[in-house]
């Protein structure tokens, strides 16, 4: 409604001084969170069963890895201790092979239960949450949207907040239980097998974690700086393209390209640093891990030589403790999702638990057996919830007789549209009553009340569906013939019939595929189909041109017959023939009467003053339009044909444009350029390699680094196999000698990993960053030089 929006604008201006407090309250609210168990408020019995099954599956799945290490350690002992007794060795291997089959079956079943059950229950609960949230939103009164929520907040809640909740109560809960089970089982198995080695293995985990964390922190910082640098370069490019006419007029193409090149040069350097940081980070992580293994295996050899453990138990203790300790970190990685889910859940549950002040319940309130249509405002005092200190009405009283048309007029902010809002019961008065046939509308069932009312706003609200479904919102069970009759009465049937798909034509988002007059006629057809006892017209024709206004006004005149009609009017010329006019000033009715009666009061009358003011404004606009028309004719005669064609060419970016006259014809202009399908170029990969030719030497070095880093995994595995063999040497001196050898190989492999990964990532980053920079420069240059026409930039480019 017109003045509600204006009033809200005033509220924003008046509230600017309190912006700091509002921001603080918003931040405080954003940081609030519900208890984790409250996120499961919409779980039913089936969900409880799914969560129990998923949790059991996660526990079994998590404990399976340490159990695997336990069995594998025993299998190693079966090999190592029975090297001279092949029959016993074969029996041991067969026994543990069968155990591994059983364990594999358990892992298959438990992992399926963990993932499937938690994902399914998470989806089920979030579906219930979305339904409850939307139901709660739709139950709220309009004041809720003025003070507590915006449309964007609600859409964000449905699309994003619910996904955060689903992330927190779905698969990640199973992951958390899984890794906690691995941690606990790993420590138990490791410490039972060989507590000294398990303790040492756990002690080296922080060193590995520190190296990985430092790498991630450094790379994150460089990535953030790189994005910022790219954003700055993007601003330069955006300005150069958006202001292409100015660039061309001052022959500034080279300057623009140089500015862009300088802007992305910093990004290039950051890319080099990121490549080096990645190489060093991964290399150091692998290096420290290899050196940690060297330390652990050295002490394992010492304990075995001293008879404190054997090879199988050493293997079990080392791997169970390390994997268990690492699992704790993986479990904690889910805490961020839980925290985000609790914050998102607070915002959703806050809305769900909020009780509306105007209850929309079919069980609440009464119906009237017969509606005559007498409406009365009785000593109403009202202020909008968003601005309770600004009174719109003070002891406002006005009567709308049944079957008559009453126009409400007044200046901007006088309260005209508020009359409509109170009759629709979008808000309730602070004091006083709004009566329908001498019954307070607060006591009436809200849905029934609104079924008796038809509303046509200044800006018609159409949904992104077909014309037929938009009209059917007035009466969902109406027949096609009833819809066509309503459309005919609203002067809409003629233009609808000319559309390719007729009533099945999609109107687009908010009816963008239709003109203003067409949208308004569909809105009127919707109101006619409802056949209401009361009709509210809130400046229904003020936004239309003269031709559309006459068509729409004719349809409205048909709709008003025999109904109590409240007309909120801006153009006073449209209300000359109404039964009564009420003039509102500063929340009070200052004059009532017919058009002629109010004009007869002369210069002292409020209505007469409004009429004179509008007439003077119209005369001024007509005079200004005449002057502008003569100037335009003079300017048009001086424009060249080339200039005019260039100007029209800039409009080709519209995919569809509808142009409708009084006869209801509709014209569609399609842009064939937007429908072209450009096939992907062939051989583009070879072209990229050719563009990368100056960096081929770096590519060779990077490839060498990749090959070298590829040897690390197999080397680690081979050395580990040899170490396990060494654990079963009968000669302690030989065992110590071989242990030292393989320990030093591990240390050497760690140093080797740092160099290999550094070479790989650094030189490939040089190659990639230079190619990216070169392509960016070529793209901007191509926009200027290969397509150096304004029409290309106007019709084919869009700055996002």
Q: Can you tell me the mean pLDDT for 7-17?
A: 39
Q: Report the pLDDT value the prediction gives residue 98, as an integer from 0 to 100.
A: 94
Tokens for 657?
Answer: 């444009």
Would you put residue 31 in left (φ > 0), alpha (ψ -120 to 50) or beta? alpha
Q: How confident is the model at residue 153 (pLDDT cuts 50, 70, 90)?
A: low
pLDDT in tens, 41-63: 999 999 999 999 999 999 999 99
Residue 100 to residue 84: CA distance in whole angstroms:
24
- 3-state secondary structure (DSSP) of residue 6: helix
530 and 472 Cβ atoms separated by less than 8 Å: no
Q: Report the pLDDT value the prediction gives residue 672, as an integer from 0 to 100.
A: 38
Residue 571 to residue 574: CA distance in whole angstroms:
6
Q: Is the dihedral of CA 417, 423, 426, 427 positive or negative?
A: positive
Considering only 98-102, 116-120, 133-137, 615-619, which range has the smallest mean pLDDT? 615-619
Q: Report the pLDDT value the prediction gives residue 26, as an integer from 0 to 100.
A: 44
Residue 14 to residue 427: CA distance in whole angstroms:
22
Q: Can you tell me the mean pLDDT for 62-85?
A: 88
Question: Which position has the higher pLDDT, 248 or 497?
Answer: 497
Which stretches does DSSP call E strand in 317-452? 375-382, 393-400, 405-410, 431-436, 439-440
Q: How confident is the model at residue 335 (pLDDT cuts 50, 70, 90)?
A: confident
Residue 43 to residue 129: CA distance in whole angstroms:
9
Residues across the chain? 800
375 phi/psi in degrees, rounded to 5: -120, 135
pLDDT in tens, 536-560: 888 766 656 666 667 767 777 777 7
Residue 651 has pLDDT above 70, yes or no: no
588 phi/psi in degrees, rounded to 5: -130, 150
Q: Report the pLDDT value the prediction gives residue 654, as an integer from 0 to 100.
A: 31
Residue 133 has pLDDT above 60, yes or no: yes
Q: Are strands 580-585 and 588-593 parallel, antiparallel or unpaired?
A: antiparallel
Could you tell me which of 435, 462, 596 has the C-alpha nearest to residue 525? 462
Residue showing tokens 């070529």:
778
Residue 240 to residue 781: CA distance in whole angstroms:
11
User: First vs last Cα of the chain: how many Å apart?
Assistant: 32
Half-sphere exposure of 439 (CA within 13 A, CB side): 16
Q: How far is CA 150 from CA 142, 156, 157, 217, 511, in A?
A: 11, 10, 11, 37, 21
Q: Can you tell me the mean pLDDT for 57-75?
A: 93
pLDDT in tens, 413-426: 788 888 988 998 88
Residues 6 or more apart whose CB falls under 8 angstroms from that of 493 comprise 484, 487
Q: Report the pLDDT value the prediction gives residue 276, as an integer from 0 to 100.
A: 86
Q: Which of the 8 DSSP states describes residue 651?
A: T
Whole-model pTM? Answer: 0.68
Q: Report the pLDDT value the prediction gives residue 549, as an integer from 0 to 100.
A: 67
Instruction: Classify residue 278 as exposed, middle or buried by CB count within 10 Å of its CB (0-12, 13-18, 19+).
Output: buried
32 and 343 Cβ atoms separated by less than 8 Å: yes
Domain spanning 375-603: CATH superfamily = P-loop containing nucleotide triphosphate hydrolases (3.40.50.300)
Residue 188 has pLDDT above 90, yes or no: yes
Q: How confident is the model at residue 215 (pLDDT cuts 50, 70, 90)?
A: confident
Residue 411 to residue 408: CA distance in whole angstroms:
10
422 and 376 Cβ atoms separated by less than 8 Å: no
Q: Can you tell me the mean pLDDT for 259-272?
A: 76
pLDDT in tens, 286-301: 888 888 888 888 998 8
Q: Report the pLDDT value the prediction gives residue 648, as an integer from 0 to 100.
A: 33
Domains of the chain, by residue range, sit at 375-603
How many other β-carbons are positioned within 10 Å of the β-carbon of residue 115?
A: 19
Instruction: Select the highest-mean-pLDDT range: 13-22, 124-133, 578-587, 632-641.
Output: 124-133
Residue 700 has pLDDT above 80, yes or no: yes
Name 378's bridge partners: 433
Question: Which position has the higher pLDDT, 116 or 250?
Answer: 116
Q: How confident is the model at residue 745 (pLDDT cuts 50, 70, 90)?
A: very high
DSSP element (H, E) containing 450? helix 446-451
Residue 675 has pLDDT above 60, yes or no: no
Residue 533 to residue 576: CA distance in whole angstroms:
23
Residue 434 has pLDDT above 70, yes or no: yes
Residue 360 to residue 446: CA distance in whole angstroms:
6
Considering only 125-139, 344-358, 648-662, which range has the smallest mean pLDDT? 648-662
Considering only 200-209, 274-283, 340-349, 773-782, which range has the smallest mean pLDDT? 773-782
456 phi/psi in degrees, rounded to 5: -125, 115
Q: Can you tell me the mean pLDDT for 394-417?
A: 87
Considering only 98-112, 225-239, 316-330, 562-576, which range has the smallest mean pLDDT? 225-239
Tokens for 42?
Answer: 């919409």
Q: Report the pLDDT value the prediction gives residue 541, as an integer from 0 to 100.
A: 66
78 and 96 Cβ atoms separated by less than 8 Å: yes
State the average pLDDT for the chain.
78
Q: Can you tell me the mean pLDDT for 205-233?
A: 76
Q: Report the pLDDT value the prediction gives residue 387, as an integer from 0 to 100.
A: 84
Q: Report the pLDDT value the prediction gives residue 783, as an integer from 0 to 100.
A: 60
Residue 350 has pLDDT above 70, yes or no: yes
pLDDT in tens, 708-733: 889 988 888 888 888 888 888 888 89
Residue 796 has pLDDT above 70, yes or no: no
Residue 273 has pLDDT above 90, yes or no: no
Q: Report the pLDDT value the prediction gives residue 237, as an integer from 0 to 100.
A: 67
């Amino acid at each position: 409604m017109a003045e509600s929006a204006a009033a809200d604008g005033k509220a924003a201006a008046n509230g600017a001084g309190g912006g700091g407090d509002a921001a603080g309250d918003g931040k405080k609210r954003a940081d609030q969170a519900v208890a984790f168990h409250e996120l499961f408020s919409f779980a039913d019995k089936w969900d409880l069963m799914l969560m129990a099954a998923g949790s059991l599956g996660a526990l079994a799945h998590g404990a399976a890895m340490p159990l695997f290490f336990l069995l594998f350690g025993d299998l190693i002992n079966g090999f190592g201790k029975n090297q001279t007794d092949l029959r016993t060795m074969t029996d041991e291997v067969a026994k543990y092979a069968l155990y591994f089959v059983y364990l594999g079956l358990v892992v298959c079943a438990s992992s399926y239960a963990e993932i499937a059950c938690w994902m399914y229950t998470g989806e089920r609960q979030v579906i219930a949450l979305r339904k409850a949230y939307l139901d709660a939103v739709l139950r709220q009164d309009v004041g809720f949207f003025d003070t507590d929520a915006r449309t964007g907040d609600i859409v964000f809640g449905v699309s994003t907040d619910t996904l955060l909740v689903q992330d927190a109560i779905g698969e990640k809960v199973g992951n958390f239980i899984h890794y906690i089970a691995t941690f606990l089982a790993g420590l138990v198995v490791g410490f039972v097998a060989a507590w000294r080695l398990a303790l040492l293995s756990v002690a080296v985990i922080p060193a590995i974690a520190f190296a990985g964390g430092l790498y991630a922190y450094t790379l994150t910082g460089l990535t953030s700086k790189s994005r910022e640098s790219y954003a700055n370069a993007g601003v330069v490019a955006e300005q150069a393209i958006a202001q292409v006419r100015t660039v061309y007029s001052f022959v500034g193409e080279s300057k623009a390209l140089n500015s862009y090149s300088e802007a992305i040069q910093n990004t290039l350097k950051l890319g080099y640093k990121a490549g080096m940081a990645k190489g060093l980070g991964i290399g150091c992580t692998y290096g420290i891990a290899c050196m940690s293994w060297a330390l652990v295996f050295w002490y394992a050899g010492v304990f075995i030589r001293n008879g404190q453990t054997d090879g199988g138990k050493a293997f079990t203790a080392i791997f169970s403790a390390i994997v268990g300790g690492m699992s704790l970190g993986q479990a904690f990685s889910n805490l961020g999702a839980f925290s985000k889910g609790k914050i998102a859940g607070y915002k959703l549950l806050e809305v769900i638990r909020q009780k509306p002040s105007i209850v929309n319940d079919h069980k609440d309130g009464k119906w009237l057996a017969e509606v005559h249509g007498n409406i009365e405002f009785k000593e109403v005092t009202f202020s909008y919830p968003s601005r309770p200190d600004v009174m719109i009405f003070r002891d406002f009283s006005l009567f709308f007789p049944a079957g008559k048309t009453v126009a409400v007029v007044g200046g901007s902010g006088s309260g005209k549209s508020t009359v409509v809002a109170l009759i629709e019961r979008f808000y309730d008065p602070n004091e006083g009553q709004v009566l329908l046939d001498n019954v307070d509308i607060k006591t009436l069932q809200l849905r029934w009340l609104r079924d008796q009312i038809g509303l046509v706003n200044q800006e018609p609200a159409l949904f992104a569906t077909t014309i037929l479904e938009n009209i059917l919102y007035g009466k969902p069970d109406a027949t096609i013939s009833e819809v066509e009759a309503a459309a005919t009465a609203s002067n809409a049937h003629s233009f609808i019939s000319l559309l390719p798909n007729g009533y099945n034509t999609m109107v687009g988002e908010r009816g963008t595929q239709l003109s203003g007059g067409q949208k308004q006629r569909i809105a009127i057809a919707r109101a006619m189909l409802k056949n209401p006892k009361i009709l509210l017209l809130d400046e229904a024709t003020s936004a239309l041109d003269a031709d559309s206004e006459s068509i729409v006004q004719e349809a409205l005149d048909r709709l008003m017959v025999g109904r109590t009609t409240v007309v909120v009017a801006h153009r006073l010329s449209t209300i000359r023939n109404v039964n009564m006019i009420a003039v509102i000033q500063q929340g009070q009715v200052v004059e009532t009467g017919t058009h002629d009666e109010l004009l007869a009061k002369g210069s002292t009358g409020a209505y007469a003053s409004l009429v004179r003011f509008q007439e003077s404004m119209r005369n001024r606009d007509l005079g200004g339009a005449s002057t502008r028309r003569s100037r335009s004719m003079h300017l048009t005669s001086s424009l060249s044909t080339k200039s005019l064609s260039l100007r029209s060419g800039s409009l080709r970016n519209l995919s569809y444009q509808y142009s409708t006259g009084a006869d209801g014809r509709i014209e569609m202009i399609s842009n064939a350029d937007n429908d072209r399908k450009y096939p992907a170029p062939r051989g583009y990969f070879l072209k990229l390699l050719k563009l990368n030719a100056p960096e081929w030497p770096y590519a060779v070095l990077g490839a060498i680094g990749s090959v070298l880093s590829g040897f690390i995994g197999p080397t680690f595995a081979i050395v580990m196999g040899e170490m396990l063999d060494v654990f079963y040497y009968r000669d302690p001196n030989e065992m110590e000698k071989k242990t030292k050898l393989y320990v030093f190989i591990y240390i050497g492999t760690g140093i080797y990993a740092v160099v290999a990964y550094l070479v790989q990532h650094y030189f490939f980053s040089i190659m990639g960053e230079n190619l990216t920079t070169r392509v960016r420069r070529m793209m901007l240059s191509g926009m200027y030089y290969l397509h150096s026409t304004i029409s290309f930039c106007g019709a084919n480019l869009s700055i996002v």
